[in-house]
Structure 1
Amino acid sequence: MAKRIQGKHIKHSPNVKLQTETQFASAFYVKSSTPYISAIKKITKQLNKFSKTTGVKKYNNDQYKKIQYITVKGMGRTIERTLKIAMRFQDLDYRVDILTGSVQVLDEFEIDACAKDGDEEREYRKRMVSSIEARIWLKRE
Protein backbone atom coordinates (compact mmCIF):
# COMPACT_ATOMS: atom_id res chain seq x y z
CA MET A 1 0.00 0.00 0.00
CA ALA A 2 1.28 3.47 -0.88
CA LYS A 3 2.23 5.91 1.84
CA ARG A 4 -0.14 8.78 2.53
CA ILE A 5 1.00 12.21 1.35
CA GLN A 6 0.78 15.08 3.80
CA GLY A 7 -0.07 18.28 1.95
CA LYS A 8 -2.67 20.11 -0.10
CA HIS A 9 -4.44 18.07 -2.79
CA ILE A 10 -4.98 20.06 -6.00
CA LYS A 11 -7.79 18.73 -8.16
CA HIS A 12 -7.64 18.76 -11.95
CA SER A 13 -10.29 18.06 -14.53
CA PRO A 14 -9.93 14.60 -16.13
CA ASN A 15 -11.08 15.93 -19.52
CA VAL A 16 -8.01 16.56 -21.64
CA LYS A 17 -9.48 16.15 -25.12
CA LEU A 18 -10.90 19.11 -26.99
CA GLN A 19 -14.53 18.66 -27.97
CA THR A 20 -16.42 19.86 -30.99
CA GLU A 21 -19.50 22.00 -30.47
CA THR A 22 -21.83 19.06 -31.11
CA GLN A 23 -19.93 16.80 -28.69
CA PHE A 24 -20.09 19.51 -26.03
CA ALA A 25 -23.83 20.03 -26.58
CA SER A 26 -24.63 16.31 -26.42
CA ALA A 27 -22.64 15.51 -23.25
CA PHE A 28 -23.58 15.96 -19.61
CA TYR A 29 -21.05 15.49 -16.80
CA VAL A 30 -22.32 14.57 -13.35
CA LYS A 31 -20.38 16.00 -10.41
CA SER A 32 -20.80 15.19 -6.74
CA SER A 33 -22.46 18.60 -6.28
CA THR A 34 -24.95 18.13 -9.16
CA PRO A 35 -28.53 18.05 -7.83
CA TYR A 36 -30.57 15.10 -9.14
CA ILE A 37 -33.67 17.08 -10.20
CA SER A 38 -31.76 19.80 -12.03
CA ALA A 39 -29.72 17.14 -13.86
CA ILE A 40 -32.98 15.51 -15.02
CA LYS A 41 -34.29 18.89 -16.21
CA LYS A 42 -31.09 19.81 -18.07
CA ILE A 43 -30.88 16.43 -19.82
CA THR A 44 -34.57 16.66 -20.77
CA LYS A 45 -33.89 20.09 -22.32
CA GLN A 46 -30.97 18.61 -24.27
CA LEU A 47 -33.11 15.73 -25.50
CA ASN A 48 -35.90 18.10 -26.57
CA LYS A 49 -33.38 20.40 -28.28
CA PHE A 50 -32.28 17.67 -30.69
CA SER A 51 -35.72 16.31 -31.57
CA LYS A 52 -37.03 17.08 -35.06
CA THR A 53 -39.90 19.18 -33.74
CA THR A 54 -37.50 21.87 -32.50
CA GLY A 55 -37.95 25.16 -34.31
CA VAL A 56 -34.42 26.41 -33.61
CA LYS A 57 -32.43 26.54 -36.86
CA LYS A 58 -29.11 25.96 -35.13
CA TYR A 59 -30.14 22.48 -34.00
CA ASN A 60 -31.60 21.46 -37.36
CA ASN A 61 -28.33 21.53 -39.34
CA ASP A 62 -26.50 18.38 -40.48
CA GLN A 63 -24.05 18.22 -37.56
CA TYR A 64 -26.81 18.17 -34.98
CA LYS A 65 -28.96 15.75 -37.00
CA LYS A 66 -26.16 13.16 -36.74
CA ILE A 67 -26.47 13.11 -32.94
CA GLN A 68 -28.27 9.95 -31.87
CA TYR A 69 -27.90 10.07 -28.10
CA ILE A 70 -27.02 12.26 -25.13
CA THR A 71 -24.05 11.06 -23.10
CA VAL A 72 -24.20 11.27 -19.30
CA LYS A 73 -20.83 10.64 -17.63
CA GLY A 74 -19.79 10.16 -14.02
CA MET A 75 -16.74 8.87 -12.18
CA GLY A 76 -15.91 7.75 -8.67
CA ARG A 77 -18.61 8.55 -6.17
CA THR A 78 -20.94 10.01 -8.83
CA ILE A 79 -21.48 6.59 -10.44
CA GLU A 80 -24.55 5.91 -8.30
CA ARG A 81 -26.13 9.28 -9.17
CA THR A 82 -25.39 8.76 -12.88
CA LEU A 83 -27.10 5.35 -12.74
CA LYS A 84 -30.14 6.86 -10.99
CA ILE A 85 -30.41 9.47 -13.74
CA ALA A 86 -30.12 6.78 -16.44
CA MET A 87 -32.78 4.62 -14.75
CA ARG A 88 -35.11 7.63 -14.55
CA PHE A 89 -34.94 8.09 -18.33
CA GLN A 90 -35.36 4.35 -18.85
CA ASP A 91 -38.60 4.62 -16.82
CA LEU A 92 -39.65 7.41 -19.20
CA ASP A 93 -39.36 4.92 -22.12
CA TYR A 94 -36.02 6.10 -23.47
CA ARG A 95 -33.52 3.55 -24.69
CA VAL A 96 -30.53 3.68 -22.33
CA ASP A 97 -27.14 1.98 -22.77
CA ILE A 98 -24.70 1.72 -19.87
CA LEU A 99 -20.94 1.53 -20.47
CA THR A 100 -18.45 1.03 -17.66
CA GLY A 101 -14.74 1.65 -17.62
CA SER A 102 -11.79 3.22 -15.87
CA VAL A 103 -10.13 6.59 -16.34
CA GLN A 104 -6.57 7.46 -15.42
CA VAL A 105 -6.35 10.71 -13.45
CA LEU A 106 -3.39 12.72 -12.24
CA ASP A 107 -3.32 13.95 -8.65
CA GLU A 108 -1.16 16.92 -7.72
CA PHE A 109 -0.05 17.56 -4.15
CA GLU A 110 1.66 20.61 -2.67
CA ILE A 111 4.08 19.55 0.06
CA ASP A 112 5.64 22.04 2.46
CA ALA A 113 9.35 21.30 1.92
CA CYS A 114 10.79 23.98 4.16
CA ALA A 115 8.63 25.89 6.58
CA LYS A 116 11.22 28.69 6.78
CA ASP A 117 11.55 29.42 3.09
CA GLY A 118 7.89 28.94 2.23
CA ASP A 119 8.92 26.84 -0.77
CA GLU A 120 6.44 24.21 -1.83
CA GLU A 121 7.33 21.00 -3.54
CA ARG A 122 4.87 19.39 -5.93
CA GLU A 123 4.31 15.69 -6.23
CA TYR A 124 2.24 14.03 -8.96
CA ARG A 125 0.61 10.61 -8.77
CA LYS A 126 -1.44 8.71 -11.32
CA ARG A 127 -4.39 6.57 -10.28
CA MET A 128 -7.27 4.74 -11.90
CA VAL A 129 -10.86 5.79 -11.19
CA SER A 130 -13.99 3.85 -12.12
CA SER A 131 -16.26 5.61 -14.60
CA ILE A 132 -19.64 5.10 -16.16
CA GLU A 133 -21.23 6.43 -19.33
CA ALA A 134 -24.97 6.33 -19.91
CA ARG A 135 -26.21 6.89 -23.44
CA ILE A 136 -29.78 8.14 -23.57
CA TRP A 137 -31.02 7.70 -27.13
CA LEU A 138 -33.15 10.39 -28.77
CA LYS A 139 -36.74 9.76 -29.74
CA ARG A 140 -36.96 11.08 -33.28
CA GLU A 141 -40.16 11.15 -35.29
Structure 2
Amino acid sequence: MEIVNFTPFASLFGGVLIGLAAVLLMAAIGRIMGATGILSAAVFAEDDRAWRWALLAGMISGPAVFLMVTGNWPEITVPVTPVALIIGGFLVGIGVSYGSGCTSGHGVCGLARLSPRSFAAVLTFMATTAITVYAVRHVFGG
Protein backbone atom coordinates (compact mmCIF):
# COMPACT_ATOMS: atom_id res chain seq x y z
CA MET A 1 0.00 0.00 0.00
CA GLU A 2 1.23 3.46 -0.89
CA ILE A 3 0.74 6.53 1.28
CA VAL A 4 -0.10 9.25 -1.19
CA ASN A 5 -0.23 12.42 0.90
CA PHE A 6 2.02 12.07 3.96
CA THR A 7 2.36 15.52 5.54
CA PRO A 8 4.11 15.21 8.90
CA PHE A 9 4.95 18.90 9.34
CA ALA A 10 1.52 20.19 8.33
CA SER A 11 -0.07 17.56 10.58
CA LEU A 12 2.20 18.49 13.50
CA PHE A 13 1.44 22.18 12.99
CA GLY A 14 -2.32 21.49 12.89
CA GLY A 15 -2.11 19.35 16.03
CA VAL A 16 -0.20 22.06 17.87
CA LEU A 17 -2.82 24.64 16.86
CA ILE A 18 -5.67 22.39 18.06
CA GLY A 19 -3.89 21.78 21.37
CA LEU A 20 -3.18 25.49 21.79
CA ALA A 21 -6.80 26.37 21.03
CA ALA A 22 -8.00 23.81 23.60
CA VAL A 23 -5.65 25.19 26.26
CA LEU A 24 -6.62 28.79 25.52
CA LEU A 25 -10.34 27.99 25.67
CA MET A 26 -9.89 26.24 29.01
CA ALA A 27 -7.68 29.04 30.37
CA ALA A 28 -9.90 31.87 29.11
CA ILE A 29 -13.39 30.65 29.98
CA GLY A 30 -12.92 27.25 31.62
CA ARG A 31 -14.65 25.29 28.85
CA ILE A 32 -13.65 22.03 27.16
CA MET A 33 -13.15 22.12 23.39
CA GLY A 34 -15.27 19.22 22.17
CA ALA A 35 -16.39 20.17 18.67
CA THR A 36 -19.72 18.34 18.60
CA GLY A 37 -20.73 19.60 22.04
CA ILE A 38 -19.88 23.14 21.00
CA LEU A 39 -21.86 22.79 17.77
CA SER A 40 -24.84 21.21 19.49
CA ALA A 41 -25.02 23.87 22.20
CA ALA A 42 -24.53 26.66 19.64
CA VAL A 43 -27.66 25.48 17.87
CA PHE A 44 -29.84 24.20 20.72
CA ALA A 45 -28.75 25.96 23.93
CA GLU A 46 -30.61 29.04 25.08
CA ASP A 47 -27.64 30.86 26.59
CA ASP A 48 -23.84 30.97 26.39
CA ARG A 49 -23.86 30.85 22.58
CA ALA A 50 -21.63 33.75 21.48
CA TRP A 51 -18.27 32.11 22.17
CA ARG A 52 -19.50 28.88 20.56
CA TRP A 53 -20.44 30.64 17.31
CA ALA A 54 -17.13 32.55 17.37
CA LEU A 55 -15.19 29.29 17.74
CA LEU A 56 -17.21 27.62 14.97
CA ALA A 57 -16.61 30.61 12.68
CA GLY A 58 -12.89 30.25 13.34
CA MET A 59 -13.01 26.55 12.46
CA ILE A 60 -14.93 27.19 9.25
CA SER A 61 -12.75 30.11 8.14
CA GLY A 62 -9.55 28.03 8.10
CA PRO A 63 -9.53 27.46 4.33
CA ALA A 64 -9.98 31.20 3.69
CA VAL A 65 -6.98 31.96 5.92
CA PHE A 66 -5.01 29.29 4.03
CA LEU A 67 -5.96 31.01 0.76
CA MET A 68 -4.82 34.41 2.05
CA VAL A 69 -1.48 33.03 3.26
CA THR A 70 -0.61 30.77 0.31
CA GLY A 71 -2.69 32.11 -2.58
CA ASN A 72 -4.24 28.67 -3.12
CA TRP A 73 -7.22 26.85 -1.71
CA PRO A 74 -6.23 23.78 0.30
CA GLU A 75 -6.46 20.60 -1.73
CA ILE A 76 -9.24 18.41 -0.40
CA THR A 77 -10.01 15.04 -1.89
CA VAL A 78 -12.74 12.80 -0.60
CA PRO A 79 -12.44 9.33 -2.15
CA VAL A 80 -16.02 8.25 -1.40
CA THR A 81 -19.45 9.00 -2.80
CA PRO A 82 -21.79 11.62 -1.31
CA VAL A 83 -24.03 8.76 -0.10
CA ALA A 84 -21.08 7.27 1.80
CA LEU A 85 -20.38 10.69 3.36
CA ILE A 86 -23.99 10.98 4.53
CA ILE A 87 -23.98 7.46 5.98
CA GLY A 88 -20.61 8.13 7.65
CA GLY A 89 -21.89 11.38 9.14
CA PHE A 90 -24.97 9.63 10.47
CA LEU A 91 -22.83 6.90 12.07
CA VAL A 92 -20.49 9.47 13.61
CA GLY A 93 -23.51 11.29 15.04
CA ILE A 94 -24.72 8.08 16.66
CA GLY A 95 -21.24 7.39 18.04
CA VAL A 96 -20.96 10.89 19.46
CA SER A 97 -24.31 10.49 21.20
CA TYR A 98 -23.49 7.11 22.73
CA GLY A 99 -19.87 8.05 23.48
CA SER A 100 -20.81 11.27 25.28
CA GLY A 101 -18.54 13.30 23.04
CA CYS A 102 -16.36 13.29 19.97
CA THR A 103 -12.75 12.40 19.30
CA SER A 104 -11.58 15.98 19.79
CA GLY A 105 -13.27 16.29 23.16
CA HIS A 106 -12.13 12.92 24.48
CA GLY A 107 -8.78 12.64 22.70
CA VAL A 108 -7.41 16.13 23.11
CA CYS A 109 -9.14 17.49 26.17
CA GLY A 110 -10.28 14.41 28.08
CA LEU A 111 -6.91 12.68 27.99
CA ALA A 112 -5.19 15.90 29.03
CA ARG A 113 -7.46 15.99 32.10
CA LEU A 114 -6.73 12.28 32.77
CA SER A 115 -10.42 11.43 32.44
CA PRO A 116 -11.03 7.66 32.76
CA ARG A 117 -14.14 7.97 30.57
CA SER A 118 -12.11 9.68 27.85
CA PHE A 119 -9.37 7.05 28.12
CA ALA A 120 -11.97 4.30 27.56
CA ALA A 121 -13.54 6.27 24.70
CA VAL A 122 -10.20 6.83 22.95
CA LEU A 123 -9.31 3.14 23.27
CA THR A 124 -12.70 2.31 21.75
CA PHE A 125 -12.18 4.84 18.90
CA MET A 126 -8.73 3.48 18.11
CA ALA A 127 -9.77 -0.19 18.21
CA THR A 128 -12.83 0.47 16.06
CA THR A 129 -10.74 2.44 13.57
CA ALA A 130 -8.14 -0.33 13.31
CA ILE A 131 -10.81 -2.98 12.77
CA THR A 132 -12.63 -0.85 10.20
CA VAL A 133 -9.48 -0.07 8.20
CA TYR A 134 -8.46 -3.71 8.25
CA ALA A 135 -11.91 -4.85 7.11
CA VAL A 136 -12.20 -2.24 4.36
CA ARG A 137 -8.71 -2.81 2.96
CA HIS A 138 -8.22 -6.53 3.48
CA VAL A 139 -11.63 -8.18 3.81
CA PHE A 140 -13.69 -6.10 1.38
CA GLY A 141 -10.73 -5.12 -0.84
CA GLY A 142 -11.25 -1.35 -0.79
**Could you state the TM-score of these two structures normalised by the residue count of structure 1?**
0.26
**Could you state the TM-score of these two structures normalised by the residue count of structure 2?**
0.26
Which structure shows the higher strand fraction?
1
Which structure would you say has the larger Rg? 1
Which structure shows the higher helix fraction?
2
Relative contact order, higher structure (CA 8 A, sep 6+) = 1
